[in-house]
Amino acid sequence: MKRPMLISGITTAIVSAFLMTFLKNGAFVVLLTGALAFILYLIKPLKLRKYIIIPVVCLSSVLICVSFLAYTHFKIEPCLKYDSETAYLSGKIVTTPTATYDGKLTFVLETEKIGKSDEKLKVDVTIPHNKEESPLLYDYISIQSAHFSVFRDEYNNPDLSYAADGIMLYAEGSSVKILWKCEKTPYYYCLRFKELVNERIDGFMWEEAGAILKGLIFGGSKNIPQKITTAFKNSGISHLLAVSGLHTSLWCGLLIFILNLFKVPPKIRNSLCIVFLSLFCIVTAFSPSVLRSSLMMLLVLTAPFFKTVPDSFNSLGFAVTVLLLSNPYIIFSLSFQLSLTATIGVLIASYFEIRLKNILSKIKLKPARSFISYIVCSVLLSAFAGLFTMPVSAYNFGVVSFAAPITNILCVKPAFYAMILGSTATAVSYINLPFIRKVAFFLYDITDFLLTSVADISQTISDFRYCTLPVHKIWLINGLFCTIVLILTGYLIFKIRKNSLSVKITAVIAVLLLFINIFIPLLPTPYSDTLTVVSHGNNMHIIMRSGTKYAYITNSAEQYPTDAYNYLPKATCESLDYYIATYLTYTSCKDLERTNDSFNTLETHITPEIHNICVTNNIALPQNTFISASGNYVLNNKINIEIVDTYRMKYVIIKGDKKTVFVHLHGNAEFSDVTDTSQGDIFIYNSKIPDKIPDCAENIVINGKAEIYFDSGYKELKNEFEDLHLTASDGNIQFYI
């Protein structure tokens, strides 16, 4: 069978995605199906033994199921049992502690003890930042009373995407004690090397360009300004910040080029590249995308030792199989998904590249042939990388970028040249000679220019009104599934009838179907007008959407929750018309600027108290800021919004085509001042049981903690109004209005 590891990789990826959807029930279904298929394979009369692909698929399915069940039992379930618990915590810090803007310190802790049990788990820990005695990498610490929480998604279910890094628990504490100082292990020095490189880049480069360079070298968007990451996302080049096969192949290609200059024998050269890849994996903290690309390169580099020719697709399948067997939840990792799809695009581009080079070989003038070949191949590689990462970006970021192929053509090569020059400059900057330091400064200047150009290009493209369109995830999945089915159907008809017309017709239908699914969110569907209430402690955030227009009402004493941003504009064709703040403290006021940078708010409305806080603390206010939160607003000429402040309480009245919703913001939990009512009214209370139910109420929602379910006042109301839709919610609430 040709390319068995590719078949294995495809099987493990599909089964992993199935398992993440249906969890343990899905595992038993796959195991039974695999066992049944293998039994049928062994029955001689069926004549299935000539299809060697069947046992490969069955074996891969069984192995990934066993790995999934084991990982869930030993890694995930122990984390879930500590949700909402408070217990003693001790362990070793395994990532470099990072200070946040709100005066806290975050890091990952490998636990030694939780409560009375000795369990080895990874926990994302946040503690107050004590500059006098701050814990360092590999320090052993204890927290007397740590409060544990499981990361949750927008539906208030455990967010399994965090399991891609083996971290499902979040802990916060204040009574921190350093038990003993760090161990100087080899891994410690590798991470310190990464820190030193980052510090060197920070010292020699401008902040924005330096942050992008660190993202290119080590992966991730940490410290990159929100405006630039949004531009990268909208223009379709986010995969540059996920270290992929492109990155590792470029590094190895550069190293091989240097070693060839010194005429190093091939086997020694490949051995040095393998050592480099191993160190690169350690320095990047074993990122899934780096591991996948390094495994691929490892097969290519070791092939000459066994006198074989490496197959790129087979190597890709092997890397995917090994990674998913080690942790099936890696399928959730965005960096893994972007890296995988970008690599597939590059490999397919390489197939066409060979054909193009054969066509271009007819050009007799060698310099012209080399130049044209370089330009064409670069364009082809960049375009395919952008095209194949588009579905992943669309699903994860909620937008589809039509500019991705163009942006990749313009930005990929300059970004990689900047990565090489910046790394070279960092290396030579440690040589303390005047001439060498001037060379380092010169290289840094070129790097800064290239990265600034990349950021400017992506920003310019992302500023186009219809650069990106919003995506409805369910429709996108349906469209992709139907597209794949149609293309496979056309291919089968071609195989049977040997008529290429069937492939062309099904491909055109598939593409049209995919585009129709992409444009559905822009159509006036019943789901285009929504109201979402995001719970955040004792406060609520209200997001209204009508078509591509949004309004955001906040009443927060803390930093804005990430959940709120999940419901705000994602595509460039959408706009945040109103940002209305009825109550903010100093901490949450600092997010005003961030909100404006992210969404280009048309109108910002704040209270005089919030304005005074911003002026006193020199917090920049967005343009078109009005000092008045109470009043009437109209969203998309369809939804009427009225914010009422009676000095006793604050609430919002939202009138849509079908429903009128009253949302309690602050004050007493009664709507006794409400006079403007209609049929089908919905009342949303904030963590309080109403003393009196409004006569017009059809649906009552009490938004708060789960203890409301057991409150005697809630039980009494539930029994008294059996025909009333009375519910308690411990998560986000959404209505179609």
Domain of residue 158 covers: 86-183
CA 335 distance to own-chain centroid: 8
- Reply yes or no on whether the pLDDT at 348 is more than 60: yes
Span of 241-250, 339-348, 726-735 with lowest mean pLDDT:
241-250
pLDDT in tens, 549-587: 999 998 776 655 567 777 888 888 888 999 998 887 776
> What does the pLDDT read at residue 181?
83
Are 269 and 414 contained in the same domain? yes
Q: Tell me which residue has tokens 């589809």.
A: 400
Per the structure, the count of domains in the chain is 5
Are 641 and 536 contained in the same domain? yes
Are 131 and 90 contained in the same domain? yes
Residue 30 vs residue 305, higher pLDDT: 30
Q: Which of 36-45, 141-150, 702-711 has the highest mean predicted lDDT (pLDDT)? A: 141-150
> What does the pLDDT read at residue 447?
92
- Reply yes or no on whether the pLDDT at 329 is more than 80: yes
Span of 95-99, 433-437, 596-600, 678-682 with lowest mean pLDDT:
678-682
- Reply yes or no on whether the pLDDT at 112 is more than 80: yes
> What does the pLDDT read at residue 577?
93
- Reply yes or no on whether the pLDDT at 546 is more than 80: yes
pLDDT in tens, 63-96: 999 999 999 988 888 888 888 888 999 999 988 7
d(CA 219, CA 199): 16
pTM, entire model: 0.75
d(CA 607, CA 630): 8
Q: Over pLDDT 70: what percentage of the chain?
A: 87
> What does the pLDDT read at residue 446?
93
Asked whether 443 and 429 are in contact (CB, 8 A), the reply is no
Are 212 and 296 contained in the same domain? yes
Are 464 and 477 contained in the same domain? no
d(CA 651, CA 694): 14
pLDDT in tens, 451-460: 999 999 999 9
Are 618 and 587 contained in the same domain? yes
Domain end call among 183, 207, 233 = 183
* Number of other CB atoms surrounding residue 430 within 10 Å: 11
> What does the pLDDT read at residue 246?
62
Are 465 and 479 contained in the same domain? no
For residue 589, give both structure tokens: 């006021």
Are 718 and 687 contained in the same domain? yes
Domain end call among 428, 454, 470 = 470
Are 518 and 623 contained in the same domain? no
SS3 content of the chain, % helix, strand, coil (to 5): 55, 20, 25
Domain end call among 484, 506, 522 = 522
Are 300 and 449 contained in the same domain? yes
d(CA 690, CA 718): 12
What's the full length of the chain, in residues?
Answer: 737
Are 436 and 350 contained in the same domain? yes
pLDDT in tens, 391-450: 887 888 778 887 877 888 888 888 888 988 988 888 888 888 888 888 888 999 999 999
Are 177 and 279 contained in the same domain? no
3-state secondary structure of 729: strand
Q: Which alpha helices (DSSP H) does 205-311 contain, by range?
A: 207-218, 226-235, 245-261, 266-283, 288-302
Mean pLDDT of the chain: 80
CA distances from 374 to 289, 350, 370, 419, 566 (A): 27, 13, 6, 19, 41
